[in-house]
Chains A and B, each alone.
Chain A
C-alpha cells in the first residue's frame, strides 16, 4: 500500500488530506473528531485580532446549488471568520496540537492591514505550538468590506507586504491563501513569493449568488428579504481551481512554489487531479460539510489504490506529473485528427448525440429510421460534444485517424509530424519552421 505521508513545506502529515479553514475547523470539538476520523491535517478557522469577536448573521449563512436527487453541487456562504474569542481558540489549538502531534495544524489568520496587528497575532499564535500559518487573503464576503480577506488578495502589493511582515515577525511557515476573484492568479502568487511566502493555497471561494427567490425577488441565501454575495465552493468550482493551480504550477517564475490545492475536492480522484497539476496536498471543506468527516476514509483508500496501480510509491511521485502537459492553445497539435466513433452495441438509442450535433454543431451524425446513429466523417470536426452528451460512458469515443489517411472533411492527408498554430500557413504571424 502506497505511503500517503506528505511533507508540505516542512509540515508532515500522515496523508495529504487537510481540512480547509472553514466551519469544520472552528473549534476543538470538531477538529478532534476530524483527526479521529483520519484527516491528515487541518487549517484552523481564521482568527482575527483580539477584542470583541466578529458577529455573524442570524439567518441562513449558506446557499446551495443542487443536481439530481438534491446532490449538492455547489454551496456558498456568508459566514465570517471565527466569532469566538481569540484566547479560547488559541487555548484549544494548543491542546489539540499537544494531543495530535503527528497531524498538521495550521492556523488561518486575518487582521487589518497594519504591521502591528500581524505581529501581535503571530506572537500569540506561535505559542500554541502550531505548525504554520495561512494568511486569509481570500474570503470575498463581509470581511472584504472591512479591507481584509479578498480586499487584500486582490492587490498584489498588499499580498507581498503582509507576507513580508509575517515572515519578518514569525519563524512559522507561511502559506498565502489566494482569492480567485481576480483576473490573473499568477500576479498575487508572484507577490506572495516575492514577499517570502513558503507556499500558496488556492482557491478561496468565488463571488456568487446561488439563486434568486422568485417570490421575494431576493438573492439567496436571503436574510430578511435581502441577500449579499457569498463565497462559492464545492464540486462546481473544481474546474476553476484546477486551472488556477495549473497556471501557477507551469509558470517558470513561480517554479517550485509549493501549492496547497483547494476547490471542490470531493473524492480521492479530485485530490489526485490537484496533485497531478502540481499541488503538494489538498484542502477539503464542502465534501466534509456535506457528508461528514468519514469521507476521508474513501479519499485515503482511493488515492492509495491509485498510487499502487500506477506504481507510484508516494504522493510526491504524483505531484506535478500533469504539469508538463498543460499547454498554450497555440502549441496544440493541429495535425492530430480524430473522429467520433459510436459503438452500436452500447448505444441505447436516445438520440442526444444527434440532436446536439444536428441542432448546435456540425450535422455530423446521421440517424436512420431504426434509430441507428452513425458519424459522417466528412462533417465531423471531433468537437467531442456527442461524447459529452451521451449518457452511456464509453459508447462514443474519439479515434485518431492514422497518419497517411485522408481526412474526409478536409480532403487532406493526415500528417504524422506535429504542426501547431505557430507554424501554420494561415497564421499571419507564423515563423517559418526551423
Chain B
C-alpha cells in the first residue's frame, strides 16, 4: 500500500506526483516585464543609497533598477555582476528583508520596500538567458592560483582572478561544484538546476579548471598547493556539524539537517525521498528553517522547529520564520532537548523550557518524533589549515591568513555572516588582494 501523510516512520512517497511538483516550484515566481517596470518605477534613486550600504557586495542598486526601468535589463545585469558574479543566486537566496530591502527608504516610508531581490533576478536571468558570458579575461599573467572550495566564495574568487588574467584551478571535495548553492539551500529557492547552470555560466570566462572529488587533507595537502601555485584561496566552508550531546542522540532517525537538505537537493525523484511523519527540527537558523519547511513540503504530517532561545534571537529572519509558519511548521522557542527516547528508533524527544539565558525552568514536555534533524550550526573541519580564531581561519584585511600566500573567505573564515552574499564579497575582495600582491611581486 502506498504511503500517505499518516503512515508512521520515515517513508517515501507520501504525496501525489502533482503535490511534489507544486511544493517545489519557485517560491517567488519571476517578475514578468510589466511587473518589473512597475516595481522599478518605485525606486527613488536615492543619493548615497542606504540599500547599497546594506549590500555586502555593494551593488549599485539604484543604478541597476533605473537601467531596468529604462528598458535595459542587460545593462542592469552588468551593474550587478560587476560587483557580484553570483548575483543570480543572491537574488534568490539573499535575506533581502534584513539587507537591502530593510534599508530601502520605502520600507521606512510605507513598510513596502522596492522589490530589489526580485528586480535583481529579473535582470540577471535576462542576461544569463542570453547565453555566452559578458566578461572577458585580461592578458595572461602567467600566475597560477589554487582555489579550494567551489562554493560562493571560491567561485567569486576564481572568476575575479580569471578576469585578471591568472590561471585558476578549483578543487572541491564534492562531486558537483557550487558548495552550499548546490547542496545547502532550500530547493524551492533555486529550482530548475539553477545552481549548476550558474556555475557553468560563470566558468565560461575561461582560465578556470574545475577538479571535483578532490579533498584538502585527503587528496592534496595545503603545502603541496602552496608549492605548486603562486597563491592559494581557501573557501572550504564548514564541513563539520555540531552534536546535541543529548542522551539518545544515536537512535535511528536522528540526523543532520544539512545532510537532509543535501539529499533533497541531489534527489532525482523527490517521491523516492523518505521523510518522517512527525519531524522535529532542532535549531534556529536558516538551515533549520529550510529543513523544517522542506520536511513539510515532502509530506511530513507534523513538523516542529524547536529553538532554545526566543524568536528574536533566531538567526533566521522574521520573514523566514513567517514563511515556515505559513507552510505549517510549528515553532517552539525557549526549549532545549534533554533526552531522545525510543527503542532503537526515535519515538519522542523530551524538551525542557529554558530562560533566555538558558537556565532550566524544570518544566518539560515531549514531542512525538520519528525523525529528528539537528540544525545547531556547523564548524570548520580539517587540520592542515592556517591559524584559527573562534574556530575559523583567522584573517586580516582582504582575507589574508596566517600563512604567506594563503587567503581565506566565506564561512570558513572568521568574522563573516554565514551568508552567500558575504562569501561572494570575501572571495571577490581576496581575489583583488591576491592580484595586487602577485603583480606587486613583479
Contacts from A to B (Cβ < 8 Å): 68-70, 348-352, 354-355, 367, 371, 391-392
Chain A residues near B41: list those with CB within 8 A: 68-69
| Cα of A350 to Cα of B49 in the assembled complex, Å | 7
Contacts of B46 in A (CB 8 A): 349-352
User: Is B105 engaged at the interface, CB distance under 8 Å to the other chain?
Assistant: yes
**A68-B38, A371-B50 given as contacts; is B45 within 8 A of A348 (CB)?**
no
Chain B residues with CB below 8 A from A392, complex form: 109
Closest 4 CB pairs of A and B: A351-B47, A355-B47, A68-B41, A348-B109
How far apart are A80's CB and chain B's nearest CB, in angstroms?
Answer: 33
Which residues in window 44-65 of B have CB below 8 A to A? 44-50
B: which residues have CB within 8 A of A? 34, 37-38, 41-42, 44-50, 105-106, 108-109
How distant is B45 from chain A, measured CB to nearest CB, in Å?
Answer: 7
Cα(A348)–Cα(B105), bound, Å: 6
Among A70, A350, A367, A392, the one with the most B-chain Cβ atoms within 10 Å of its Cβ is A350
| Bound-state Cα–Cα, A391 to B46, Å | 10
| Cβ–Cβ contact B44 & A350, under 8 A | yes
Given contacts A354-B47, A391-B44, contact A349 B37 (CB under 8 A): no
Measured in the bound complex, the distance between the Cα atoms of B41 and A348 in whole Å is: 17
Cβ of B105: which chain A residues have Cβ within 8 Å of it? 348-350
A–B complex contacts, Cβ < 8 Å, 11 sampled? A68-B38, A69-B37, A348-B105, A348-B109, A350-B44, A351-B46, A351-B47, A351-B48, A352-B45, A352-B46, A391-B109
Of chain A, the residue at the smallest CB distance from B62 is A350
| A35–B210 alpha-carbon span in the complex (Å) | 75
Cα separation A349 to B46 with both chains bound (whole Å): 8
* Cα separation A352 to B47 with both chains bound (whole Å): 6
Q: Which residue of B lies closest to A71 (CB)?
A: B41
Query: For residue A356, which residue of chain B has the nearest CB?
Result: B47
A348 with B108: CB separation less than 8 A: yes
Indicate which residue in B34, B42, B45, B50 contacts A349 across the interface (CB closer than 8 Å).
Answer: B50
User: Once the chains are docked, how many angstroms separate the CA of A348 from the CA of B42?
Assistant: 14
Cα(A213)–Cα(B47), bound, Å: 32
Closest chain B residue to A67, Cβ basis: B41
Name 20 extra pairs, CB < 8 A, besides A348-B105, A351-B48, A391-B109: A68-B38, A68-B41, A68-B42, A70-B37, A348-B106, A348-B108, A349-B50, A350-B46, A350-B47, A351-B47, A351-B49, A352-B45, A352-B46, A352-B47, A354-B47, A355-B47, A367-B47, A371-B50, A391-B44, A392-B109
Q: Are B45 and A69 in contact (CB under 8 A)?
A: no
Residues of A within 8 A of B106 (CB): 348
Expressed in whole angstroms, the minimum distance between the Cβ of B437 and any Cβ of chain A is: 32
Determine which residue in A68, A70, A349, A367 has the highest number of CB atoms from chain B within 10 A of its CB, and name it.
A349
Closest Cβ–Cβ distance, residue A345 to chain B (whole Å):
12
Report the minimal beta-carbon distance from B27 to chain A, rounded to whole angstroms.
25
Closest chain B residue to A373, Cβ basis: B47
Q: Which residues of B sit under 8 angstroms from A391, Cβ to Cβ?
A: 44, 109
Q: How far is the CA of A355 from the CA of B48 in the complex (A)?
A: 9
Alpha-carbon distance between A352 and B106 when the two chains are bound, in angstroms: 13
Residues in A whose Cβ lies below 8 Å from that of B34: 70
CA distance A70 to B48 in the complex (A): 28
- Nearest A residue (CB) for B46: A350
Which residues on the A side are within 8 Å of B47 (C-beta)?
350-352, 354-355, 367
- Shortest Cβ distance from B34 into A: residue: A70
Q: Could you tell me if A69 and B44 are in contact, using CB atoms closer than 8 angstroms?
A: no
When chains A and B are docked, how far (Å) is the Cα of A421 from the Cα of B170?
75
Residue of A nearest to B108 (CB): A348
CA distance A354 to B41 in the complex (A): 21
CB distance from B308 to the nearest CB of A (A): 35
Shortest CB-to-CB span from A38 to chain B, Å, is 32
Max count, chain A CB within 10 A of own CB: residue among B41, B49, B105, B108: B105
Residues of A within 8 A of B50 (CB): 349, 371
A351: B residues at CB distance < 8 A: 46-49
**Chain A residues closer than 8 Å to B45, beta-carbon distance:** 352
Q: What separation, in Å, do the CA atoms of A262 and B192 have in the docked complex? A: 56
How far is B259's CA from A148's CA once the two chains are assembled, in angstroms?
A: 82
The residue in chain B whose Cβ has the minimal distance to the Cβ of A66 is B37
Alpha-carbon separation in the docked complex, A352 to B105 (Å): 11
How many Å lie between the Cα of A404 and that of B135 in the bound state?
Answer: 64
Q: Separation in Å of the A390 CB from the closest CB of chain B?
A: 10
Task: List the B side residues contacting A69 at CB < 8 Å.
Answer: 37-38, 41
- Min CB–CB distance B60 → chain A (angstroms): 14
